[in-house]
Structure 1
Amino acid sequence: MWHDIVAFDELSANEPRRIEIDGKPLVVLKEGGRIHALSAKCPHKGAPLEKGAVCDGTLVCPWHKAIFSVVDGRLMEPPALDPLESFPVEVRDGRVLIQYRPKAIGPTSSEVRRMPSEAESVVIVGAGAAGTTTAVSLREFGFGGPIALIDPEKRAPYDRTALSKTVLAGKSEGNAPPALLPADRMSEDRITRITERVVALDPETRSVTLSDSRVVMGRHLVLAPGAHPVRLPVEGAGLKGVHSLRTADDAQHILEGVSPDGHAVIVGGSFIAMEAAAALRQRGTRVSVVSRDKVPFCTAFGTRVGESLLRLHLDHGVAWHGGREVARIEQQAGALAVSLDDGRKLDADIVLIGVGVRPATGFVPALTEEDGGIDVDAALQAKPGIYVAGDCARLEHAGRRSRIEHWRTAEVLGRRVARTIMGQPISAATVPWFWTQQFGKKIEYAGFHQPFDHIVVDGDVDAFDFTARHYRDNRYVGIVSAGRPGVTAHVVGTGQLT
């Protein structure tokens, strides 16, 4: 049955419009003179796609920048791991008609370029964003051989970004982060979970030794182990009640250690640290932050934006100790005492250390660089048959190598590794994007974190409605925005800073 929806001339080019058919929402958009009808919500977190950006034949999610083909809803880039439904459309006598009957998505010519034999196997070290995305993308692209996903965490893969944004704020059901995949997805995709730690790797044989002494080998080996929190090199950093935040168990221990009316001291001005400060403060917990930086995020966002975020924290009751370092941590009368380098002392129920991370690549010293990362080529290979994705991948850009410690980038790299294994072409490198959410304000960044010497601001920074473009030697190198999701969506969708 065809449903008459709207006049063709009423649709503006590249502006998605939400419509309903029998109470079921869709988005309709005009692109290149053609009309397309797709699911109305992003399968990742349910973002309203009528607010998305249309870029070069794709639709970019406004919230977390998943990218879909406007033609058939095909998933182009994560963080979504499933496509959109697309629906038959016809234009008759100037009217747009839609059939509410999802069309099948067939493989493109590039996606069937190479079909590995079922004798081939893939071993993936790490079940975080990059590792999980690699596994499910391989199955999506038609890989038929065994896939093993190795990670010491007993939990099924989950959304680590929620730990500092919602779990610590008490906004997640059961204080648990959401799963990355439906409960039965691993078994349906025939992905074997091995819950052990990798203790050694032989690059020549592509074999890994596990903590239970087993040795696992694969025709293709994917290294996506993530990172470990950096420990604070001060006396008392190992005391009970001193925490880092990397896993769901870490979040549980933090919540168990401090009541809503208790006091948490957070060391560091990192994104994890400041998100945790906002989350705990929203629970009612008294929060003090100790940071080397006088203004948070000044090197990432610029001083003007950093000052606005600092005021936001101060307005919500966070105590800020900027330009200070921790001298030592002690246990006193059943509580913790944090001594600062200026002689002040802060009593605390818990101390949370958020001073950065280091790649968890200790099992493969032969491939690691000084920062713990692993150099990769354009195909994300460190050596033939050994691929790297996520926090430990050292990517080349503008004549230098850097690691991009962003959730979405980890998933993008995982999907690209899957394409490389399948012999599919890899699209040009996209611009890394990430977001931080603090006290209900969302800041987005797109770029490679290159140094900048000049910032051009458009809008009201204090109202969190702005774009701030970063320049280095008059070259555009990054953008920060708030309240304008379409700006960064366009950057991600086109793959260009414009």
Structure 2
Amino acid sequence: MNHNVDFLVGGSTSSEGEGAQKQRGEIKCLPKEEVSVDGIVCKVDDMKDGEMKVYDVGDGRVLLIRDKGNFHAIGAKCTHYGAPLVNGALCNGRVRCPWHGACFDIKTGDIEDFPGLDSLPRFDVEIVEGSVKIHGTEALSSNRRVKQMECGSPEDDRTFLLVGGGYASVACAETLRQEGYKGKIIIMTNEPFLPYDRPKLSKACNATANDILLRKPEFYSVYDIEILVNKKAVSVDTMLRSVSFEDGTISTYDKLMIATGGNARTLDKLEGHDLENITPLRQLHEAHLVAERGKGKRVVVIGTSFIGLEVASYLIGKATSVTLVGLMPEPLQPILGTKVGGMVRKLFEDKGAKFVFGSSPARFLGSGKKITEVELENGTKLPADLCVIGIGVQPATEFLKEGSIALSQNGYIMVDKSMKTSRDDVYAAGDLTEFPLFMAGDAKVNIQHWQMAGQQGRIAALNMLGKDTEIRSVPFFWTVFFGKSLRYTGYGVGHDDIIIQGDLEGMKFIAYYTKGDYVVAVASLNFDPIVAQAAEMFNAGKTITKAEVSG
């Protein structure tokens, strides 16, 4: 793969970026495509309280909401993947996306919970002689709005260093600028690309970096967010307020956020692990290897959780054969249970996939330098031209092992509800944290969801600025197989029963995960917006009892 630094912005390859960045504060905003909206859309009595409707206005669509007697008008589609918000959940002054759980304030259009980065356009509403009139000027055609952000200023000599080039760092950087911070922001990523939409890697393995960038290069340039690529952290000195990198450079900070995510687990202790065409899938070049070398070949996927299944879904129809190997009797069983896991297995089998359960790889066999077989512990040999390892990740915190930042026994960074670590002015966010989850009685948990990484980055930014804010976000994730999207919200670890409503075989169902007398998580397929509604109930502190969903 060509690793030319085509995506480097901020203009520097040194640790401090001296002299290479454009004059801070030079550009004040991105160009904004605007359209004037001015017209009557309905009668007041056309909508009931708590109702949402979509109206065509000019060259776009507006979501009109009647809530507690007042009307509000915002963009009609989620800024993440364009889901129709009219099908979402309205609760406590915000609307939650039915697909992936992003939340928007109905009064301002501002994004309040992730995924996604942009807010919605917002319009004024006026009641004129019993009719509802919408007017204002917003970027309606694109249905997204960049929340007002400051740029850097040479008068602010602070440096906030964000180590890690993922979603948490981008959300943190943007929140800092939205909240008025004008000092330096430097994001250090160990990859050769700008931050990108990592969940797409296993769903669209052939995507290019440009296809999945979270923001285009000019965005970071405009708002003075410096990004340095190929920067792998090797140590943190909290006394000297500095981070050392593998290339020998050292960067100092006033505030630090660590968001290096996770490293894919490998099978490097097995014989033959160094043969060609054995790969995990965590970074862009690994996804490209899968796309290129899986076509027309025999593929074995180790792991039957989300990454393994998503990769298999992508390869089926492109590869000659796809075989998945897992320890549990059904795919996704620890999270979704036996029945839902069985439905997923049948879906894959109907598409031509094969499963081998109850065993794991013992060694890899090859001819020359390339893999030819995967031998399992039960003696089975599976022909393989490509083997994808999808057995989870471990926190990328090895550079902190000798430091003073407190880690859990499993190597996760321990943070409080403000995303603060055990050291002053050091924060952490994303897959490498253990944090108090409000809906689990503030138990310290690790949540490796894209949505949670973004929210943790936002909360870290607010607290880096001294704006005391505690995280209160409901876990929400999704996966897609063959165009079918399975959604899940809550914290179902330790659930003791599963109640299923609907048609499991017909793939239209709701699964309630209960612990004792209460529902702790909800999953659904083709039953929107039930998961979004459940997430809003969890967020509001409302309970769903087992008795309520058992009838």
TM > 0.5: yes
Deviations 1:337-374 (A, max 9, x none): 11112222111111000111001111111332221101
- Tell me if the contact between 2:99 and 2:487 (Cα under 8 Å) persists in the aligned partners: no
Deviations 1:399-444 (A, max 9, x none): 6322111111101100111111223342551211111111222111
1:133 aligned residue (135, 153, 171):
171
Give secondary structure in 2 for the equivalent of 1:16: strand
TM-score by length of 2: 0.84
In structure 2, the partner of 1:184 is 218
2:336 paired with 1:297: no
Q: 2-side partners of 1:107 and 1:257: how far apart?
A: 42
- Tell me if the contact between 1:162 and 1:177 (Cα under 8 Å) persists in the aligned partners: no
Q: 1:81 to 1:105 in 2, by over 3 A?
A: closer
In structure 2, the partner of 1:489 is 532
Q: 1-side partners of 2:317 and 2:95: how far apart?
A: 34
1:478 aligned residue (494, 507, 521):
521
Unmatched 5+ stretches in structure 2 = 1-36, 545-551
2:42 paired with 1:6: yes
TM-superposed CA distance for 1:120, in Å, is 2.1
Q: How does 1:157-236 map to 2 (within 5 A)?
A: 157-165=195-203, 167-168=204-205, 172=207, 174=208, 177-195=211-229, 196-232=231-267, 233-236=269-272
Give secondary structure in 1 for the equivalent of 2:212: coil
2:315 paired with 1:271: no
User: What is the identity, as a one-letter code, of the residue corresponding to 2:472?
Assistant: A
- Tell me if the contact between 1:88 and 1:102 (Cα under 8 Å) persists in the aligned partners: no
Deviations 1:435-468 (A, max 9, x none): 1111222111112242111112221222222221
In structure 2, the partner of 1:394 is 434
2:162 paired with 1:124: yes
Q: 2-side partners of 1:47 and 1:36: how far apart?
A: 19
Unmatched 5+ stretches in structure 1 = none
Deviations 1:197-254 (A, max 9, x none): 1111112333100112111111110010010011124211222110000011111112
User: What is the identity, as a one-letter code, of the residue corresponding to 1:376?
Assistant: V
2:491 aligned residue (444, 448, 454):
448
Calculate the aligned-residue CA RMSD, in Å.
2.4
Q: 1:284 to 1:253 in 2, by over 3 A?
A: closer
TM-superposed CA distance for 1:263, in Å, is 1.1
Q: 1:405 to 1:35 in 2, by over 3 A?
A: same
Give secondary structure in 2 for the equivalent of 1:180: coil
Q: 1:192 to 1:28 in 2, by over 3 A?
A: same
1:461 aligned residue (504, 510, 527):
504
Q: 1:340 to 1:428 in 2, by over 3 A?
A: closer
TM-superposed CA distance for 1:15, in Å, is 2.8
In structure 2, the partner of 1:318 is 353
In structure 2, the partner of 1:380 is 419
Q: 2-side partners of 1:461 and 1:258: how far apart?
A: 31
In structure 2, the partner of 1:252 is 288
User: What is the identity, as a one-letter code, of the residue corresponding to 1:185?
Assistant: F
Q: 2-side partners of 1:416 and 1:282: how far apart?
A: 42
User: What is the identity, as a one-letter code, of the residue corresponding to 1:208?
Assistant: V
In structure 2, the partner of 1:350 is 386
TM-superposed CA distance for 1:175, in Å, is 8.3
In structure 2, the partner of 1:424 is 467
TM-superposed CA distance for 1:184, in Å, is 1.2
Give secondary structure in 2 for the equivalent of 1:181: coil
Number of equivalenced pairs: 489
- Tell me if the contact between 2:294 and 2:315 (Cα under 8 Å) persists in the aligned partners: no
Give secondary structure in 1 for the equivalent of 2:399: coil
2:85 paired with 1:49: yes
Give secondary structure in 1 for the equivalent of 2:341: helix
Give secondary structure in 2 for the equivalent of 1:255: helix
TM-superposed CA distance for 1:281, in Å, is 0.6
Q: 1:210 to 1:175 in 2, by over 3 A?
A: closer
TM-superposed CA distance for 1:61, in Å, is 1.6
In structure 2, the partner of 1:406 is 449
Q: 1:351 to 1:107 in 2, by over 3 A?
A: closer
Q: 1:9 to 1:273 in 2, by over 3 A?
A: same
Q: 1:41 to 1:399 in 2, by over 3 A?
A: closer
Greater shift, 426-435 or 312-321, is seen at 426-435
Give secondary structure in 2 for the equivalent of 1:97: strand
Q: 1:106 to 1:391 in 2, by over 3 A?
A: closer
Q: 1:403 to 1:285 in 2, by over 3 A?
A: farther
Q: 2-side partners of 1:155 and 1:138: how far apart?
A: 22
In structure 2, the partner of 1:81 is 117
2:183 paired with 1:145: yes
- Tell me if the contact between 1:151 and 1:197 (Cα under 8 Å) persists in the aligned partners: yes
Q: 1-side partners of 2:506 and 2:454: how far apart?
A: 32
In structure 2, the partner of 1:29 is 65
Give secondary structure in 2 for the equivalent of 1:153: coil
Q: 2-side partners of 1:32 and 1:380: how far apart?
A: 34
Give secondary structure in 1 for the equivalent of 2:458: helix
TM-superposed CA distance for 1:177, in Å, is 4.9
Q: 2-side partners of 1:66 and 1:481: how far apart?
A: 17
TM-superposed CA distance for 1:477, in Å, is 1.7
Q: 1:406 to 1:473 in 2, by over 3 A?
A: same
TM-superposed CA distance for 1:140, in Å, is 1.5
Q: 1:309 to 1:204 in 2, by over 3 A?
A: same
Give secondary structure in 1 for the equivalent of 2:387: strand
Q: 2-side partners of 1:441 and 1:68: how far apart?
A: 25
TM-superposed CA distance for 1:85, in Å, is 0.7
- Tell me if the contact between 1:434 and 1:446 (Cα under 8 Å) persists in the aligned partners: yes
